[in-house]
Amino acid sequence: MLRFFATTLCIVLSHMYSVWAQTDTIDVKNKKLLIRQLKPTKRQYMVYLKIPQKNNLITNVSLWTREVSFQKDMVVISQQWSGQDTLTNRKLWSLCKKDNFEPVYHYTYMPKMGVAAFNFGEKQITGADSVANNTKKDFQVALKHPTFNWELDLETFEMLPLGIGKTFIIDFYHPGGSQTPAYYTYKVTGSEKLEVSTGKETDCWMLRIDYNADSYATFWITKQNPEVLKMEEFYKGIYRYKVKLATSI
């Protein structure tokens, strides 16, 4: 009887662990993103660096405005990045299919670098040759399968079925980047309550990616009405933050 009980307990614990430590592959085809959680909204983030070696100097401060809207069967996401150097300010405009968040088009403009515009397809990403002055008109990268737009990571994270112990392997590509599309591992490492401007605490999931042994990023995503409130990134001894503002500027 004791042996039977021990065997049963092991089976139960094994099942509980497999449920708790679930790994999900997230890509365009399997449609595991919870699209219903993405809402029309306008948000702003303060983005900055903190350098511990220089007495926690705050530098490279910029303001990111991200706006999500819906047009028929498309999700439209526009962004404006404004900082101290106007030559590096950015305007970004992205189109994705509403049913699975598959990228269709991405446009970036920087005064210093000019226009970079891309068409996303199932088998390749190409420079949009119909866009005037497109510096990437001859760009082309082959795809083994459609990929998500890494410029829209914050919106993507808000549609994940987050939960304790979950791991997500997400297919991402940065438009025009030298690295080919690839799957990246993000883990829910726990939960934490963040204090917001009202003085109340908001319960958040903590989603982490380890780029390598010395660099990582953690995102705090609210459990109710999911949205990213904060990101902390560490690379080469420097911290980078994105913090959602409570009052629009």
Query: What would the pLDDT profile of 61-81 be if each residue is shown by its tens digit?
Result: 999 999 999 999 999 999 999
Average pLDDT of the residues in 166-179? 95
Structure token digits, residue 151: 């410029």
Asked whether the beta carbons of 93 and 74 are under 8 A apart, the reply is no
- Residues of the chain above pLDDT 70, percent: 92
Helices marked H in 127-205 — which ranges?
153-157
Beta strand 57-71 with 41-51 is: antiparallel
Rounded Cα–Cα distance for residues 227 and 159 (Å): 9
pTM for this prediction: 0.89
Write out pLDDT tens, residues 99-146: 999 999 999 999 999 999 999 998 999 999 999 999 999 999 999 989
Average pLDDT of the residues in 224-245? 97
Residue 248 is predicted with a pLDDT of: 77
Q: How far is CA 77 from CA 106, 119, 172, in A?
A: 10, 15, 17
> Is it true that domain 21-244 has CATH number 2.50.20?
yes
Rounded Cα–Cα distance for residues 7 and 187 (Å): 30
Q: How far is CA 117 from CA 112, 136, 149, 150, 240, in A?
A: 15, 6, 13, 15, 27
Beta bridge partners of 245: none
For the chain, counts of helices (H) and of strands (E): 2, 16
- Residues of the chain above pLDDT 90, percent: 81
